[in-house]
Structure 1
C-alpha cells in the first residue's frame, strides 16, 4: 500500500490516470480535499469514480475543473461495489467533453502517438473521419475550423495522443550495390521512423533526383546503409540516377 502523498500542483491528474492505466494497476487513487476524490482501478480499467456525492464521470469532471489537493495511490485494493468497468481513455474523453475546449497548440500536420490505444476507443462516424484526416496529414489548423473537430483534437492532445508529425523526407546519397536485385536499400533506422510516423510498413519510397524527377522505388532496410540510398545497377539504369547524387527520399 502506498503511503506517500504528492500534490496536484506538480502533477497532471490525467497523466497520473494514464500512467496507472497503462501499467494495468489495481488500487485506488485518492485526492484529499474538503471532499475526498477516489478513482478505483482494476488491471488499469476504471471501476469506480467518486467525489463527495458525485459518482462516475461527473466526479472526474468536477476534479478536472479544479485540480488541486494532495493525492496517493493505495495498491491492490478493490472497490466493494463498483459501478463502472471502462477504459481510462473513454472515461477521460467523456469528461473532457464537458470541460472548455483546451487550446490547440499544434497547428500543422500531426500524428496519433499511440494508434493501438486510439483503435480501442469508441468513435462516431464523424470522429472517425477527423482521425482519417489527421492520418492523411491534413493540418490541424484546417481541421480545427470545424468546432466539433476542434473539440476532438483538443481532447486527444490533452491526453497526449496527438503529437507533431516529424518530417518524413530524408536527404540521402545514391550509391551502387550488387547485393540486391530489383529493390533499393535504405537505413533500417530511417525505415523504422517512417513506419512509426505513417503507422504502416513502408515498402516503396518516392525519390526526387537532381533534376527534379520523382521515381517510385521498392526498398528494404539494412543497418549498414548509413545515409545512403543503395541501388542495384538495373534501378540506376531505369531511374538515370548516378552514384554520388544527392536525392530526397520519402515513404509512399
Structure 2
C-alpha cells in the first residue's frame, strides 16, 4: 500500500518515529479493527484509532445516547440524546479522517452473531460493560484466532489486557460471570476521566500491537487505580481446564 501525499502529511508525526516509520504506518492503514462499545472506553479508542489511520473500523453498539453518558463519552453532545451511538461514532470518524473506512453495527453482540461480526478482523477491542458480552466475545475470538484487547473501567478501577488464544479472557475471570445480570457502571458508578485513561491506554496497546512496537504484551493485565494514580501489571496464567482455550 502506497501512501498518498496527503496521507504523508497527515501521518508525518508517526512516520518520523523510528519505531513506526512508513512501514508501520502502512500496517496501520491496512489493519481492520472491530471496536465493541462506543461508550466511555470507545470514546477514547475510536478517535485515537481513526486519527492513527486504521484502515477499517467496525463500531458495534446497539445503544442510544443518554444524558447520563455525557460525563464520560465525549464523542457525543446533548443534542445527540436518543440517537444511535454507532451511527454518531461513524459520523465522528468521517469528520476526523476520510481515509478510514468505518462501518456501524447497531446490534448487541452475543454468542449467536459474534462469529459473523468479528471474523476477518486483525484485532478486536472490547469496551463493553458486562461480563456476559465480554466472555461471548472472548470465546469467539479464541475460536476465530483473532487477538482481543479487553478494556474495562468502573468506579476508580481500570484494567486493560491483550489476549491472544492462550491465555484468554475466560482464563482470567472463569465461568461464573456468563449471566447478563452482573454489575456494571450504571449501578456502581465510574469516574469520567478514568474511562478516557483506560481507553487511551487500550488504543496505544492496539497501535503498538499492530505496528510491532515493544515487547509482546499478550497475557499481561495492566491495572490502574484512579484514586492512587498508579499502574501495576500482572501476568495471567493459562488455565488448562478453560472451556474456551484449555485442553478439554
**TM-score bracket, shorter-length normalisation:** under 0.3
State the TM-score, normalized to the length of structure 1. 0.23
More strand by share: 1
Larger of the two Rg values belongs to structure: 1
State the TM-score, normalized to the length of structure 2. 0.23
Higher RCO (CA 8 Å, separation ≥ 6 residues): 2
